[in-house]
Each structure stands twice: as structure tokens, then as C-alpha cells.
Structure 1
Amino acid sequence: MSPDHIKTPVLPPKERLGRLPKAAQWFLMVSVSLAFSVLLHHWNVPASLLVGPMIIGIFMGTNGATITPPKPLYLGAQAILGTMIGGSMTIGILTSFAQDWPLIIGVTTITLLASSFLGWILCVKQVLPGTAGIWGSSPGAASAMVIMAEAFGADARLVAFMQYVRVVIVVAVASSVANFWVDPALLAAMGPHDWFPSFDLGGFAITLGLAAACCFIGAKSRLPSGPLLVPIIVTMILHVSGVLDVVLPGWFLGLTYAMIGWVIGLKFTPPVLRHAAHAFPKVLLSIVVLIAFCAGISALLVIFLDVDPLTAYLATSPGGLDSVAIIAASTNVDLSFILVLQATRFFMVLAFGPPLARWVAKRTAHLPSVSKSDL
């Protein structure tokens, strides 16, 4: 056979991407994420510094990228985000909770029960094996649910798939809603964004030191999502008591958002998608139902409590506390109300998620299990 008849095999695009040196993959992801995030920001997309890297991370992960953000950097990003969230807590938020705690507890309880019901249906119908459905349906605390699900014997891959698909969809929907609701005249009046404003260097150093200490304590503790949870609690106490002023420049928060976006996006690897492909339509339906249910609750807040629509929607959105906080911080909303509802649900999910999963496991133990080879 002549050399002309010998065809060189053409690698699929995903294999070609995976064969690139890791340094080249990092350069590609970082550079494209930067350009895409700037473009989204130019289009006034809320949370562009999270959404942009997350979308590029999904593209990289599903096309064979072999890079993974270093765990210390991801834990540090969680700690910085926790510090930002804790620094956003004020006496006004605590007062709001004290005044409206029946409403706040009621809304979060209804949301938790609705998500648990959807998870129970997924378990009963054996769309996902074991208790993966109930863990995957928990609204918020995505990383904590994946960690706890694995500890309780559920398939962490499917839980991660369901949780992060929901995070991606919720972030996309919430960003679109926020972008639709933000007044273009208000955005125009704000003028060009100053990416590198002056800031208190000493206060920044103190904030970083606190975040690092809380991250270390959280990582060593047995708390789920400790690197996020411990900074929220400690920073909230120090900030509310007047001991600490949190100083986090916008460019630094942008790096934090990008790291979180990359971690979420890169989790969408081909094996995970193949493993859950058969369940995707039903999982997607359950996510859409949960988003619609929470939107219905937000409509009730608008009608009966005169909460502005965007604030109500973001407060009840079933995304993670971190991603919703990022979107809320980039829009003109009542951040205190949003954070108090999201934080309350976050703590309730951590407290009641495991007991609910165990309860569902007992009630569905007699059902035939779906083996991983069937997926």
C-alpha cells in the first residue's frame, strides 16, 4: 500500500485538547475566560466574572481538559467568598431576621420540603440509584451535599452532576433575570468600571490573614464546607461587633469568582456526563420545577409583602449561597434580605439534609437498585 493510501487518524477535538500540555490548557482557559468575562461585563451581564469562567470551564471539562485547580486555591477562594459574605452581614440583617423570622423560616422550610419531595420522586422512580436523588435535589450548599452524600454512601458523581447542573442553570437564569431587571440608565449613570481602585492595604492584609486562618480552621474541622462556613460565621461576628472592616478589592474578588467558576465548570467531564446522560431529561425537569416553584414563592413575596421582584427572586432562588451572593452584589437589590434568606436556607440544608436523606433511604430500601453499569 502506498503512503498516499495511509490515512493519519484524526483525533476528536476533546482528545486533542486533553493532549495539550497542562500549562497550555491553563493558558487557554485563563486567557479565554478573561476575554469572555470582559465581554459579558461589557454586555452588563451580572456576575460576569463568575459566569464567564464557569462557561469556559464547562467547555474545557467536557472536551477532555486534564487540569484541576489546586485544592488550596479553591479552599482559599471559598474562604475569601465566605469573608465577603460575612462582611456583608450587618445589624440590619440580624434585625430583619429577628423581625421576620416566621416568614424567613416558613419560606426556607417550604423550599426545603419541595426539593425533598422532588428528590423522593427521583428515588422512588429510580431515576438515580440509592439516595442520590435526595442529595442532588437539596437547594443550595452544593459542595457540602456532595461531600456528605459520599460520606453516607450515595454516588457522589451523580450528586455532583445534579447539584452542579442546577447551579449552572440557576446562575444562568438568575443572571438573565437580573440583567433584564437592571435599569440600563442606572448602569450607564455608573460610568466605566474602575477595575483597580485605591484601597486600604493594611485592611486588605488583615482581611487576607483572617480568611487564611478561618480557611485552615474550616479545613481541619469536621464541618461540611468548613472553609466557606467558618469565615462566614467569624467575619460576621467581627464585622457586626465593629471589630473588623472587610477590605476586598474588586479585582481580587474577580479572581475568587473565576476560581469558583472554573471548579464548577471543570467538574463537567465526559465520564460524569456519560454516567448521568440517561437521567438528564428527568433531572432537568426536576430542576426546572424547583426553579419555577421558588419563583412562585418570590411572586407571593412581591404581592403580599411589597418586596421588589428582583430581590424576591434572588432571595428564593435555589442556587448556592455563593453564586447568588455574587449576582446580588453586582445588582441594585436589597442584599441584606437576600443574604438572610439564602443563609438561613444554607444552614437548614446542612442541618436537615442528612436526616431527610436517611429517611428517604429507609422508605425506598425495598425498591430495586439501579446499578452503575446500567447507567
Structure 2
Amino acid sequence: MPANSFQSAAGRLAVTLLIAAAGGATFNLFALPAAWLSGAMVFVAIATLAQVPTLMPVPLRDALFVMIGISMGAGVHPDIVDRVAEWPVSMAMLIAVMVAVTFAGYAVLHYGAKWSRETAYFGAIPGALSYVIALATERGADLPRIASSQSLRLFVLVAVLPFAVVSSAEPAGGGSGTIYVSGLKDFLIGIPLCLAASWLAIKARVPGGGLTGAFFMSAGLNASGLLVLVLPGYIVLPCFVMMGAHIGCRFASMTLRQFLSVLGASMAAFAAAFLTSLAGAWIVAELVDIPFGQALLAYAPGGLEVMTLLAFMLDLDPAFVAAHQVARFTGMVLLLPFITGLVLGRRSN
């Protein structure tokens, strides 16, 4: 039985990675931005909805997050200290933008699509799907609709954001253009430190701990100038492909009929939330004189790991984006139960 299960899982993983690689290669052939990530995501999502048995095992996903975190740290350079002064204003604006984004999505889903108050509220919250699902379960909300709305939002963000960023902003000096690859000494010092940071972040329940811990350790080492920790392309590129596959596999929890039934409402809610994020990002970009694309990724209602990865791939400031996404996620975890009680009232027995 275990052998058959292993063979089945191995076969599903092989099929998933082949589909993801084909998608990344296709998007790369047409020179699309963030091609290996977005192409893999689109192809795997389509295959998953078509009932192809795709799979991204949890251990592989966790290892992938650590490797991507290490890689993204290469986008942080010693001049980061000069940019920290940009953050207080943009952090303050983050609260207002997140409230506005949630309200915009809620208004569309509740008043436009006629979803219940609970389902519309949880479907509109930007990110933190697992935490949102846990709260929604206690409230008796429509979980398939919420999961569909949340997954579709992330899907569209990854597909659309690279084009919005590339067409609107000058690079801020990220890491994707770096050609230096670390020597053996850098790896022997840096990799164990990043692994230890990931372990500590997971134990401390930091949002996206595996990626976040490795990223901030790698970013700190690179920013210090003591060493340069840059993974070679033959490691980084497969990580992009597997991250895209991981996002695409999220659609395994829904059928094509479920997906189509919520497509219109979810797209309308995404459009309202995204336009609100655009407005907030434009205001912040003007106030603190940073690239619009960088502010947009920091405020985008998507996942911490994916938004920070896009910043790295698009040659923007991943530290700025990660700091804001971590603050958004942490604030949600701390405040959502209280805010939910205010918005929806006390939970009935």
C-alpha cells in the first residue's frame, strides 16, 4: 500500500512539474514578464481544473519556500539603510488601503452578487487564506465560494501584476539582473544561517516562516556587505516553476462547475479591490518617491511569498515589499477576530 501510494504521488508530481515546465517555457518563448512563474501557474491551474491529478507535496513546498527566500535576499544591497526612511509613511498608508480594499470587495460580493454578509466578508479579505478559512468555518460561511474567490484573486494577481509593474515603473535595483554567484565560502556560511533563521521563524509562527526567515537572513547578509549570497540560475529557475505549480494546484479543491459559478462575482470583486490597491499605491509612490510598481506589489492583496518573489523577479525592492506584506499579514492575524466581531456581530451558539 505505501509503495503504491508513493508511486501514485511520484507520478502526479512528475506530471505536475512537466506541465509547469511547459507553461513556463511557453511564456518565456513569448518574452512575457515573470514567465517561468506565471506560465507554470496558468498551465497547472488549467490542468487541475480539467481534472488532471496534479500534486505539490508539502515537504517539497516547504523546501521550495526556503530556497526562494534565500534567493530573494540577493535583491537586497548595502544601500537598503538609505531606503528604510521610506517605510513609516507607506506603513501608515497600508492600514487605510487594506481597509478600503476589503470594503471594495465586500461591497461587490454582498450588494452586487448577493452573497451573504459572512461569505462576502471573508471572500473579500486580502490574503491569509488558511486563517480566513478557519474563521469562516466558525461563522458557518460558504467555504467553497470563499476558497474560490481567494484562489482566483491570487491567480489573476500573478497573471496581471507583472504586466502592470513592467509597464509602469523603472527598476529600483532588485536582484534578477545580478550575474554574481556565491563562492563556496559564502555558501558554507550563508546557507546554514538561512536554514536556522527559517527554523526559528517557523517555531515563532512568523507569517510564511520558511520563506520569511530565510529571506530576511539572506537579505541581512547581503545588505551587510559581509558576503554575497546568490544562488545559481539552475537552482533559481526550477524554484520559480515549482512556485507557479504550487499556486496552480490550489484549484484542486474545486470543480470546474464551482469555479465557473463564482467566476463573475470573484472577478468583479478582484477588479474593485485591485483598482483600490492601484490608487493607494499611486498615492504612496508620489508621497515617498518610490517606483509605482514597488508600491503596488507591497499593497497588492496577494500572498506574502508570491508578491515578494514577483518584486525580486521584476528587479524591484523585495525587502520593501516583504516588510509591508509581513506587516499586513501580522496585522490581519492579530486584528481579524476583533474586527470580525465588530462587522458581523458576536457568533451565535
TM-score normalised according to structure 1 size: 0.72
1:64 corresponds to which residue?
Answer: 51
| 2:165 alignment partner in structure 1 | 178
- Give per-residue Cα distances to partners, 1:265-310, cap 9 Å, x unaligned: 1121373554464333222211110101111223334555544443
Structure 2: distance between partners of 1:241 and 1:151: 46
- Structure 1 residue 132: deviation in Å? 4.5
| Structure 1: distance between partners of 2:123 and 2:190 | 34
Answering whether residue 41 of structure 2 is matched by residue 54 of structure 1, we say yes
Unaligned runs of 5+ in 1: 1-19, 184-189, 367-375
Q: Are 2:312 and 1:329 aligned?
A: yes
Equivalent-residue separation in structure 2 for 1:48 and 1:104 (angstroms) = 29
Greater Cα shift, 282-291 or 171-180: 171-180
Inter-partner Cα distance in structure 2 for 1:134 and 1:292? 18
Instruction: Say if 1:138 and 1:85 are closer, same or farther in 2 by CA, change over 3 A.
Output: farther
What is the percentage of aligned positions where both structures have the same residue? Answer: 22
Q: Return closer, same or farther for 1:337/1:223 CA change in 2, 3 Å cut-off.
A: closer
1:81 aligns with 2:68: yes
Which residue is equivalent to 2:103?
117
1:36 alignment partner, SS class: helix
Tell me if 1:344 matches 2:327.
yes
TM-score by length of 2: 0.77
1:94-243 correspondence to structure 2 within 5 Å: 96-98=83-85, 100-101=87-88, 103-118=89-104, 120-121=106-107, 122=109, 128=115, 131-142=118-129, 145-146=132-133, 157-181=144-168, 199-236=182-219, 240=223
Task: Look up the match of 1:37.
Answer: 24
How many pairs were matched up?
A: 336
2:267 maps to what in 1?
Answer: 284
Amino acid at match of 2:280: I
Cα contact 1:128–1:279 (8 A) shared by 2: no
Aligned residue in 2 for 1:259: 242
C-alpha separation in 2, matches of 1:80 and 1:147 = 28
| AA of the residue aligned to 1:73 | L
1:174 CA displacement: 0.8
CA distance in 1, matches of 2:277, 2:132: 20
Where 1:83 maps in the other structure, the secondary structure is helix
1:56-87: CA deviation from partner (whole Å, max 9, x where unpaired)? 21022112122421111111112223334455
Counterpart code for 2:90: I
CA–CA distance in structure 2, aligned partners of residues 347 and 236 of structure 1: 20
Whose Rg is larger? 1
- The answer on whether the counterparts of 2:72 and 2:312 sit within 8 Å (CA) in structure 1 is no
RMSD: 3.9
Give the equivalent residue in structure 1 for 2:174: none
Q: Distance in 2 between matches of 1:94 and 1:357?
A: 37
Q: Assess, with a 3 A threshold, how the Cα gap between structure 1 residues 339 and 130 changes in structure 2: closer, same or farther.
A: same
- Structure 1 distance, partners of 2:299, 2:329, is 12
Gaps of 5+ in 2: 1-6, 171-176
Cα deviation 1:193-230 (Å, max 9, x = unaligned)? 98xx8542343354443444444445555455332343
Aligned pair in 2 of structure 1 residues 303, 71: CA closer, same or farther (>3 Å)?
closer
Residue 104 of structure 1, CA deviation: 1.2
Q: Quick check: 110-119 or 333-342, which moved more?
A: 333-342
User: 1 CA distance for matches of 2:253 and 2:75?
Assistant: 38
